[in-house]
Amino acid sequence: MYFFTSRIRYSEIDRNGHLKVEALLNYFQDCSTFQSEDSGCGMRYLSKKHQAWVLNSWQIEIRRLPALGERVRIGTIPYDLRGYFGYRNFFMDTEEGEQLAVANSLWTLIDMKETKPVRVGEEQKKAYPLGEKMQMEYLPRKIRLPEDASGLQRREAAPIVVREYHLDT
């Protein structure tokens, strides 16, 4: 397990004074990035190997969003590295131990030159000690439509334009 502590900042809250969902995701992503950096398998290491971890899916359970100024502990637990997949849990707790949010995630290690998945090497396996899978409800990744979908209406949605600032490294 890896964790860091922080405090909810003004720039991270919504109009009601609570952490924005996208800020929660940033905390989780930062936590796994900090673990990678501290283990020696961070951005420079991956860049030299022309590799990147790409997020496939999230399952996030939010119990309560913390308010401005609250002190929190953000953690991650890699629990399986198999083939080219990495499975990782996340959590955000208060200082008192109240569990605010938990998450499950699936990542793929990609060779950026060949643009294809690559097996996780021994060096990276050593960098991410595996822990126990967190207690949470694990839902299937595929969303199934009801058998009788005749009552559902289709409608066009506005296109989403991905801008440069939406992309990370």
pLDDT grade for 27, boundaries at 50, 70 and 90: very high
pLDDT of 145: 75
- pLDDT, one tens digit per residue, over 31-88 is 999 999 999 999 999 999 999 999 999 999 999 999 999 999 999 999 999 999 999 9
Ordered by start, the domain boundaries in the chain are 2-133
pLDDT grade for 18, boundaries at 50, 70 and 90: very high
Q: For the chain, what is the mean pLDDT? A: 94
Give pTM, 2 decimals.
0.86
CA dihedral over 27, 128, 61, 155, signed as positive or negative: positive
Query: 71, 52, 78, 62: which is closest to 22 by C-alpha?
Result: 62
Residue 76 contacts residue 35 (beta carbons within 8 Å): yes
With respect to CATH, is domain 2-133 assigned 3.40.190.10?
no
For residue 3, give both structure tokens.
């964790």
pLDDT of 153: 75
- Nearest-5° Cα angle at 97, 65 to 80: 85
pLDDT of 57: 95
